Structure 1
Amino acid sequence: MTDTDRPDDEILAAEFALGFLEGEDLMAARGREASDPAFAAMVERWQSQLAPLLDNIPPATPREDVWKRIEADLGVSMPSAEVVELKTKLRRWQWFGGASAAAAAAIAVFAFTFKTAPVTQPVEQAPLAASIPIADTDLRLAVTYLPDRSELLVSASGIAADGVHDHELWLVPGDDSPLMSLGVVVPGEERRVKLDPAVASRVADGSPLLLTREPLGGKPEGLDAGPVVAEGLLRKI
């Protein structure tokens, strides 16, 4: 069994496919998917296996008394953080206990629905993501935009520096206005970037992204951007 085939990775791939991961965990998983072909294959396998099952599970919102009954049975009043922890443990017990894919998917959807039901997220606040292929290699630059925080998560895991050039990421606005820089990509690292409000206001579903090759430090002031080496589109996830 290789490092990328260990059970923890299978669980992570399944949770990623089901949409459980958030924040730093989501960023790390997207980086793994972009740079680790074995992990990407796990995610794809889980998506293909679970998608048909999820189609057959009708959406349902648990009754308000569900967690009150659990608290009563335990004889304690659980803070919200402990409720989330209990649901997380329940998911992992199902995976380790050898539950069937259908049962695990049903439990996962139940927990995810319960967690998100109290707050309805506006459609426009859904995260956007792009997986940008690097030239003719198997490497990809993973980009995730969080609209509610105006933050860009850029994962360049597996990409190495050449010591001569830097690569700069650009947003292509929806009109004929100039390209907007999203910053210089740091090879082999995952970075969180707070976007300027003027730039954040132009990010939308379907926004094109370009990666250009620049001198070290990024595009020099007063010069045009360098040659485009990769491109992709931001899409809702």
Structure 2
Amino acid sequence: MHEPWDLSDPQERDLAAGEYVLGTLDSRQRANFEALLAVSPDLRRQVARWREHLQVFNDQLDPVPPPETLWPRIARTLGLSDTPWRRRLGVWRGLTAAFALMALVLAGFLYLRPAPGMIPGDAVFVVLDDDQVPGWIISASESGELMVQAVQPAMPSGMAGELWLMKDGEPVSLGMLPDRGEARMEMPRELRSLMRHADLAVSIEPAGGAPQGKPTGPVIDHGRLIPMRGDDKVRL
């Protein structure tokens, strides 16, 4: 299994943006990335730069026509009539350069670094600070597993983010959030039925956790898990 992107690393975020533009992320990876993209102007600028770079290469790439025998063979395989198909050859040949570029760039990515996986899950919550800077992506699966990816958490020295779930108006700690990289948590079985509608919150606490299991520091953000788009199996 490939290591996930370390989105707390600016270079890794840029590489993830490149993979997003290339279209090599699967539906879950794309959902996680787009959740972060929706709240991060910096990431949107990185995506725009990647699109601009790739378009420049595409404009400079000469079309490479396929063998004349290829298109009729494809037409026969798809059950298309020969005459209308030939009228469409100009369109397909025009796309050949773009497909060739995509293959070359993707091959370069795979050569430099194996394509990593993003955080899997069925629903996601992006934690934002007061300046709308994303600190973590929290992803949840139907099995009760929570996967947390640090993005840009800004914690005072000796402090860390702690994740809470509200149960009957009382906060229940789900664990400490990582300052970089990823961490996996397990939702207690008795709380899993609450995942769909319960409020989550993140507060600033001592690195070892809040004293007496109750939040003491300021709350960075609160919200609910949002089902990922493009996953018909999500039932959270």
TM-score, normalised relative to structure 1: 0.51
Among 142, 145, 151, the alignment partner of 2:140 is 145
Question: Contact conserved, 1:130 with 1:142, CA < 8 A, in 2?
Answer: yes
**Are positions 1:12 and 2:3 aligned together?**
no
Matched to 2:150, the amino acid is A
- Distance in 2 between the 1:27 and 1:192 partners? 19
Q: Which residue number in structure 1 is paired with residue 131 of structure 2?
A: 136
Counterparts in 2 of 1:207 and 1:225: CA distance versus 1, 3 Å: same
Of stretches 6-15 and 190-199 in structure 1, the one that deviates more from structure 2 is: 6-15
For the Cα contact (< 8 Å) 1:160–1:188, is it kept in 2? no
2:206 pairs with 1:215: yes
Correspondent of 1:97 among 84, 90, 100? 100
Could you list the runs of 5+ residues in structure 2 that have no partner in the other structure?
A: 1-9, 51-76, 78-95, 103-120, 229-236
Aligned to 1:170: 164
The structure number with the bigger radius of gyration is: 2
User: Is 1:187–2:179 an aligned residue pair?
Assistant: yes
Q: Distance in 2 between matches of 1:138 and 1:178?
A: 27
Aligned match of 1:67: none
Secondary structure of the corresponding residue to residue 158 of structure 1: coil
Structure 2 residue aligned with 1:56? none
Q: Is the 8 A contact 1:14 1:43 kept in 2?
A: no
Contact kept, 8 Å, 2:136 with 2:152, in 1: the verdict is no
How far off its partner does 1:7 sit?
Answer: 8.4
Residue 198 in structure 1 maps to residue 206 in structure 2: no
Contact kept? 1:35, 1:158, Cα under 8 Å? no
TM-score norm. by structure 2 comes to 0.51
Give the fraction of aligned pairs with identical amino acids, expressed as a percent: 22
Whether the 8 Å CA contact 1:166–1:214 is kept in 2: the answer is: yes
Equivalent position SS for 2:147: strand
Note the residue ranges of structure 1 that are not aligned, 5 or more in a row.
47-72, 74-92, 100-125
Aligned residues: 157
Structure with more contact order per residue of length (Cα contacts < 8 Å, sep ≥ 6): 2
- C-alpha contact 1:34 1:157 (8 A) present in aligned 2: no
Q: CA RMSD in A?
A: 4.2
